[in-house]
Amino acid sequence: MANILITGANGFIGSRLAATMPVGSTARLNGKDEVVERLVLVDHVVTDSVAGPDGAEWVEGDLGALVAAQPDLFSNADSVFHLASATSGECEAELDLGINANLLAGLALGRCLASAAQRPLLVFSSTLAIYGGTPEAPLPPVVDDTTHPTPQNSYGSQKLMLEAFFADLSRRGLITARSLRLMTVSVRPGRPNGAASSFLSGMIREPLQGENANVPVGPELRVVLNSPDGAVAGLRHAAAALDDVWGGPRGVNLPGISVTVGEMASALAAVGGADVAARLSWERDETIERIVTSWPAEVASARATSIGFAADKQFIEAVRDFAATVNGG
């Protein structure tokens, strides 16, 4: 029987992940099929319209404060997916926000889980932004499992510090930690958020919904993305794999989609038509461009493949998936 807890469960990926594990369903965790007995969904804001999967329990509040006030809620879970996070743009704009929401809350969660009687499984949603290049020290053309992490923004730095902390708790035998480095997820529904990469969904989402959208970088910029389905499948597999198969290093780069921004615009035109693609404007934003261009443009995920992670879909398929939701499909 599995007691599962998800932080950031009201977010796009968190809600999709939760929907795959309703109470009474079977979840594969550390190589074993377990019946989900309890599903606790945590987020700092839970709106009245949020239902969640059958049998789920919602808990609303600041993560760090909740861990301090209700430690048993977290330490009683045998599998935890930690997705709660301030975005890259928010962390760059407000240092204290990122420190509190990302670093300190994550440290509190890790210490709480380390005190559990059982050895909980922790799947941490990390980021490709732990890698970063500068003009003086550019990233290699292809980032792989041996590339040294050199984050160039506060968001990536905070995620990397948590990776190291969770890995140390795992080394001590207190938790079983697995840090999954996700790419920017596209196409996300909803409205633009504070992430520097928000435009990578907005440039597809808004035109397909009849709105204009600006692209703040050049069409030649190459980025690495995950589709929504690829991100959720990756998180599920990170929890499912046997620890003997996962191996020693706690972090792994999720396979992604390498595509230029111009190719993304072409996919939009192929799915929505030229009139839809004409809703894009191309006015550069130096702040966003500085952050996004420091991230890897291509990632080799040999280790992820050896653990059993599947390749992501083609980007045009992710555009078709979103267009189907707009058109009622």
Q: Which residues are catalytic?
A: 155
Which residue is listed with tokens 């996004």? 292
- Say which amino acid occupies 280: L
Q: 67: buried, middle or exposed (CB in 10 Å: 19+, 13-18, 0-12)?
A: buried
Whole-number Å distance between alpha carbons of 16 and 173: 30
Helix (H) or strand (E) holding 76: none
Length of the chain: 329
Pairing of strands 26-29, 32-43: antiparallel
What angle do the packed helices 154-171 and 105-114 form, to 10 degrees?
A: 10
Pairing of strands 2-7, 280-281: unpaired
Give the Cα-Cα-Cα angle 42, 226, 156 (nearest 5 degrees).
65
- Least Cα distance to 26 among 45, 4, 41 occurs for 4
φ/ψ of 42, rounded to 5, equals -115, 135
Give the Cα-Cα-Cα angle 200, 205, 206 (nearest 5 degrees).
105
Q: What is the dihedral of CA 147, 149, 151, 155, to 10 degrees?
A: 120
